[in-house]
Structure 1
Amino acid sequence: MRGHRPQDPKREVTTWREEELLDGETVETLVGILETRGCSHDRERGGCTMCGYAGDTPLRPPEDEELLAQVEHVASRRGEARWVKLYTSGSMLDPEEVPPAVLEVIVETFGDADMLTVESRAEHVTRHRVEALRDVPRREVAIGLESACDAVLSESVHKGMTLEGFRRAAGHVKDAGARLRAYVLLKPPFLTEAEAIEDSYEAALVAAHAGADVVSVNPVNIHGATMVDFLHYRGEYEPPWLWSVLRVLERAGRDLPEGARIVSAPTAGGKVRGAHNCGQCDKEVLTAIEFHRLSGDARELEGVQECGCRVRWQTQLELEGHQQGPFAPPGYRRG
């Protein structure tokens, strides 16, 4: 059973700083996660199989004044950050989670940012709600597509969304003049490594052809108290290889329509509960992925030195093509 975190309702869950590529320049970015009542999909239908962010929801939903205090505190930590990303454990465009009056203050507070990013589930995206951000000259709405297959969305991810729902939401974002970022999963449960690579690649193309300016590949990492965590405990799930992340970035990067970018920033990369390789080459591969994200230059992915574990990865992909289910004996990845 997933719990709820005791938290000061006037303080956000967390903030951190990172870098992003904007107009060919690396810019400082502030990321803030507000503590809200949480994801509607989690409350009403149990949420997604890999998502543990329900643990960031409070026992008592915050009042509007408390949400506004969180926004003010995030703003106080902005410093010189030119890009602001503001998230919740659910959807910024869900009016029950972030009331319109609070969203209006967010726009006023960060209206001078070079870019403001908010995230939402597809069903909460309407043209009217995206247009509520119009006083921010450059705004980006991030939506999780996750997979190119409705069956995977339903049975593996338990997303509560279809491809058509994503396309409809993407259209609203573009019609409102905002930029679209699409999140694509790599290796949701019940897919082999080989199937996961193909699905992530296809999802990147679906997202880009629906209008995504940026496709962000998110390798699954294991959150506690989730279906994925349960499967991992039983020895029935392993996070993807970092080689698989590289494969998706390289393939999709060649095939995306002009103007679309593909990036990745693996959470818990190199750790056993995140995308990882043998432990010897992880740092080098992660560095290449990060340099690629901040430069947009595909050549950053080409200079990774060969490692013995890459042969094991390739062997796994080949064997999975000849049998039902995954091939990964205990200790196989670490050699």
Structure 2
Amino acid sequence: MNPLDTASIRRLRGPKASLDPARPYAISVEAERTAAGTVEDVLTVFLTNRECPYTCLMCDLWTHTLDHSVEPGQVLEQVDYAIASTPGVRHIKLYNAGNFLDRRAIPASDRDALAGRLAGFDSVIIENHPRMCSEDLRAFQDGLSGELEVAMGLETVHPEVLPRLNKQMTLDDFALAAERLQDWGIHARAFVLLGLPWTPAGEFGKWAERSVAFARGAGCRVVAVIPTRAGNGAMDHLAATGAFQEPTLRQLEDVQEALLPGPGRTFVDLWDAERFASCDTCRDARIERMGAINHGQTVLPTVACLECHAG
């Protein structure tokens, strides 16, 4: 294996998007199965802020980040704008392409004031690197009226690939962070990759399933499986050298079926899932089926296709 270091990963990047620091770079409302078993709308606010200090090999979130810190009050303005645009939603995700506790990304004064802004939500989900899960999360939780959940990137348990993702994290780091969150009464969510560089495509499912099992064992009540994409420069470089290929829609379906039913909730990420399909005839029906499985957490009959036999 030939890993890429931070400098190499950054050299392979393209340009960043032009962003307004007073506005989130995206807002979405999508239905998600809750811990109570109901399917409810969740508002996701993609905050505009300074880039994450970590430079993970597979990450493309940097494209919608700033090279400087936002001014105090601008994150609050972004959240106010998003909430006002989507009234009536009871669950919110604040995803900032990095770490909620990174004070260079979200000023401490904004973070402290955010709890009051979020008082009307039943659940608040933020994202954070496992090594940055400090007791500041407890203070933030104390200001909320609903439950707090922290989403963390586990990525993979593959012993050779994880160190080469430049995530600067071990499995022990992840397990310790999850344990601390549980001790504080905070829920944990994990992100797991389907499709690893330097790994045969035939092993993609195996390593995703093992990684989900680890996350569940660490106490994560939600695990989201995300198909790895090219497009950030570094992954395109690895693809050109034969060290990476994107997973297929069939592989994503197989993993979803293998993981259900199971403890907690397990979702497959369907954003831009069309790119992984090889058959236009059955693509939309298969993606719709996976969305229904996400909501029901039970496997449904497969989609039959005379063109590709749902391959």
Whole-angstrom distance in 2 between the partners of 1:237 and 1:62: 35
- Comparing 137-146 with 73-82, greater Cα deviation is found at 73-82
Matched-pair contact (CA < 8 Å) for 1:243–1:277: no
> What percentage of aligned pairs have identical amino acids?
24
Pair 1:289 & 2:302 matched: no
Whole-angstrom distance in 2 between the partners of 1:35 and 1:103: 14
> Judging changes above 3 Å, is the alpha-carbon distance between structure 1 residues 200 and 295 closer, same or farther for their aligned structure 2 residues?
same
Q: TM-score, normalised by structure 2?
A: 0.88
Gaps of 5+ in 1: 42-46, 314-335
Matched-pair contact (CA < 8 Å) for 1:30–1:83: yes
> What does residue range 37-52 of structure 1 map to in structure 2 within 5 Å?
37-41=50-54, 47-52=55-60
> Judging changes above 3 Å, is the alpha-carbon distance between structure 1 residues 191 and 278 closer, same or farther for their aligned structure 2 residues?
farther
- Cα RMSD between the aligned structures? 2.1
Whole-angstrom distance in 1 between the partners of 2:161 and 2:240: 22
Q: Give the secondary structure class of the aligned counterpart of 2:252.
A: helix
Whole-angstrom distance in 2 between the partners of 1:138 and 1:17: 19
Whole-angstrom distance in 2 between the partners of 1:59 and 1:49: 18
Aligned match of 1:253 in 260, 263, 266?
260
- Comparing 204-213 with 103-112, greater Cα deviation is found at 103-112
> Judging changes above 3 Å, is the alpha-carbon distance between structure 1 residues 219 and 85 closer, same or farther for their aligned structure 2 residues?
same
AA partner of residue 299 (structure 1): V
- Give CA-to-partner distance per residue, 1:244-292, whole Å, 9 cap, x none: 11221222225x4x4x221112221122xxx324333222221111001
- Give CA-to-partner distance per residue, 1:31-71, whole Å, 9 cap, x none: 11111111110xxxxx1222121121224321112222222
- Comparing 19-28 with 196-205, greater Cα deviation is found at 19-28
Give 1:150's aligned residue. 159
Whole-angstrom distance in 1 between the partners of 2:48 and 2:169: 24
Aligned match of 2:33 in 21, 32, 38?
21
Q: Give the secondary structure class of the aligned counterpart of 2:274.
A: coil
- Give CA-to-partner distance per residue, 1:127-176, whole Å, 9 cap, x none: 44244223322121100101012321112x22221111110111121111
Aligned match of 1:71 in 52, 65, 79?
79
Q: Give the secondary structure class of the aligned counterpart of 1:217.
A: strand
Shift of 1:210: 0.1
Whole-angstrom distance in 2 between the partners of 1:310 and 1:95: 51
Q: Give the secondary structure class of the aligned counterpart of 1:15.
A: strand
Pair 1:125 & 2:133 matched: yes
Whole-angstrom distance in 2 between the partners of 1:248 and 1:189: 18
Aligned match of 1:115 in 123, 133, 138?
123
Q: What is the number of residues matched between the two proteins? A: 297
Whole-angstrom distance in 1 between the partners of 2:107 and 2:150: 17
Pair 1:138 & 2:147 matched: yes
Whole-angstrom distance in 2 between the partners of 1:213 and 1:307: 38
Whole-angstrom distance in 2 between the partners of 1:200 and 1:126: 28
AA partner of residue 270 (structure 1): E
Whole-angstrom distance in 2 between the partners of 1:241 and 1:184: 16
- Give CA-to-partner distance per residue, 1:78-112, whole Å, 9 cap, x none: 31111111111111122332232211222111122
Whole-angstrom distance in 2 between the partners of 1:169 and 1:226: 30
> What does residue range 1-335 of structure 1 map to in structure 2 within 5 Å?
1-22=13-34, 23-41=36-54, 47-136=55-144, 137-155=146-164, 157-223=165-231, 225-233=232-240, 237-254=244-261, 256=262, 258=263, 260-271=264-275, 275-296=276-297, 298-300=298-300, 302-305=301-304, 309=308
Whole-angstrom distance in 2 between the partners of 1:237 and 1:308: 27
- Give CA-to-partner distance per residue, 1:13-34, whole Å, 9 cap, x none: 1111111112222211111111
Shift of 1:179: 1.6
Whole-angstrom distance in 2 between the partners of 1:307 and 1:294: 27
Whole-angstrom distance in 1 between the partners of 2:128 and 2:103: 11
Whole-angstrom distance in 1 between the partners of 2:193 and 2:180: 22
AA partner of residue 226 (structure 1): G
Matched-pair contact (CA < 8 Å) for 2:101–2:128: yes
Whole-angstrom distance in 2 between the partners of 1:38 and 1:82: 28
Whole-angstrom distance in 1 between the partners of 2:284 and 2:17: 32
Matched-pair contact (CA < 8 Å) for 1:86–1:116: yes
Whole-angstrom distance in 1 between the partners of 2:184 and 2:50: 27
Whole-angstrom distance in 2 between the partners of 1:253 and 1:295: 10
